[in-house]
């Protein structure tokens, strides 16, 4: 238990120094709109996704993230896309809600490829209850007033270049580096810009099997480079199985099932490869996506992303 409290204390120190930064996802290729606003409407149909992530199971105060995203093109022949998302992220004594609206505009760049530009407007609601902190060292100075519903706006932008089988995205979902203070005007936390580069492609191995490699790179000032590599095999466009590697952090297994043209369900399990892996039983992530498709032949966006 003492070790768990030490780890929680380290997590709290990270919270105080840098705030709770962006939520982490293993199945990022299905949750792209949270990372890149240009993705809004790119699937050519109304698309809604719910995702739950329980990270570092068994470790007290570990992150728990719940996500809802909805996005759609604005009309059958419109170049505009609109999206909405809500993310609730809990870490130790903190509880953060992020509400975002995305607007995208898409132009064709060739017969097969399109380029989308997107902007994101966000409202962040940040709470910290310091009464929930269990001190390992009673002499630690954590005598701070709670942070209650601290609201801060933000903006973001991104580019998304894609075809039916390829995509490349660049984005900064939150550009403003907001700072947070307690009532005594003491420095508590600040946001940092996250630069994302992501890409993926579908290779046809046979008429019934597709291979889907993808990667996501996250660059944050003052933090190590984060790289997520993943690969999935799709069988008969119904069932997928794959693996992922988060550089110097975790390995993952993934599986998905296309229940129907409209419904897709997926699951991922992460196992930490660093020392933290000795003190938790892994991370679980599950999502369910629904798409309102009237005529699938009209959907010209990437089927697999």
Predicted model pTM: 0.86
pLDDT for the residue numbered 3: 42
Q: Per the domain annotation, does 115 fall within a domain?
A: yes
3-state helix, strand, coil in the chain (%, to 5): 10, 50, 35
pLDDT band, very low/low/confident/very high, at 17 (cuts 50, 70, 90): very low
Exposure b/e, 273-288, CB count within 10 A at least 16 = b = eeeebeebebbebebe
The 10s digit of each residue's pLDDT in 97-139 is 999 999 999 999 999 999 999 999 999 998 888 777 766 666 6
Establish how many alpha carbons lie within 13 A of residue 206's alpha carbon, considering only the half-sphere containing its beta carbon: 6
pLDDT digits (tens, 9 = 90+) for 148-180: 888 999 999 999 999 999 999 999 999 987 765
User: Looking at the domain assignment, is residue 33 inside a domain?
Assistant: yes
Domain annotation covers residue 304: no
Q: Are strands 194-201 and 94-108 parallel, antiparallel or unpaired?
A: unpaired
Q: Which helix (H) or strand (E) holds 100?
A: strand 94-108
Rg over alpha carbons for the chain, rounded to the nearest Å, is: 20
Question: In the 3-class helix/strand/coil scheme, how is 162-224 assigned residue by residue?
Answer: ECCCEEEEEEECCCCCCEEECCCCCEEEECCCEEEEEEEECEECCCCEEEEEEEEEEEECCCC
Give domain status of residue 22, yes or no.
yes
Give the total number of structural domains in the chain.
1
Question: Are residues 72 and 80 in contact, defined by beta-carbon separation less than 8 angstroms?
Answer: no
Structure token pair of residue 61: 């105060």
212 in Cβ contact with 233 (< 8 Å):
yes
Nearest to 16 by CA among 188, 206, 205: 188
> If pLDDT is split at 50, 70 and 90, which confidence band does 15 have?
very low
**Is residue 130 one of the residues assigned to a domain?**
yes
* Sequence-ordered alpha helix ranges (H) in the chain: 2-18
Interval 74-87 mean pLDDT: 92
Lowest-pLDDT range of 10-19, 24-33, 61-70, 183-192: 10-19
Is 59 a domain residue? yes
Q: Which range of residues forms the domain containing residue 91?
A: 2-298
106, β-bridge pairs: 116
Judge whether 303 lies within some domain.
no
Q: What is the CATH number of the domain that holds 139?
A: 2.40.160.40
75 within some domain? yes
């Amino acid at each position: 238990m003492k070790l768990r409290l030490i780890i929680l204390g380290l997590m709290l120190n990270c919270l105080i120094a840098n705030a709770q930064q962006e939520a982490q996802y293993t199945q990022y290729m299905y949750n792209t709109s949270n990372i890149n606003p240009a993705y809004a409407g790119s699937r050519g149909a109304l698309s809604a996704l719910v995702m739950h992530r329980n990270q570092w199971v068994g470790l007290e105060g570990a992150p728990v993230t719940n996500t809802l995203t909805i996005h759609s093109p604005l009309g059958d022949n419109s170049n505009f896309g609109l999206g909405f998302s809500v993310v609730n992220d809990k870490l130790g004594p903190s509880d953060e809600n992020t509400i975002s609206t995305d607007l995208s505009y898409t132009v064709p760049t060739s017969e097969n490829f399109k380029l989308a530009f997107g902007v994101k407007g966000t409202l962040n609601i940040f709470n910290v209850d310091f009464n929930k902190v269990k001190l390992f060292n009673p002499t630690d100075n954590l005598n701070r007033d709670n942070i209650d519903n601290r609201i801060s706006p933000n903006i973001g932008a991104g580019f998304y270049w894609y075809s039916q089988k390829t995509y490349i995205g660049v984005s900064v979902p939150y550009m403003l580096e907001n700072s947070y203070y307690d009532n005594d005007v003491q420095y508590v936390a600040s946001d940092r810009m996250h630069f994302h580069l992501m890409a993926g492609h579908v290779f046809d191995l046979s008429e019934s099997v597709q291979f889907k490699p993808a990667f996501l790179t996250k660059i944050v000032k003052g933090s190590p480079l984060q790289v997520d590599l993943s690969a999935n095999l799709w069988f008969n466009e119904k069932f997928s199985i794959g693996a992922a590697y988060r550089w110097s952090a975790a390995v993952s297994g993934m599986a998905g099932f296309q229940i129907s043209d409209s419904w897709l369900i997926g699951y991922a399990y992460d196992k930490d490869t660093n020392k933290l892996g000795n003190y938790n039983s892994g991370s679980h992530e599950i999502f369910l996506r629904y798409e309102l498709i009237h005529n699938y032949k009209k959907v010209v966006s990437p089927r697999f992303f």
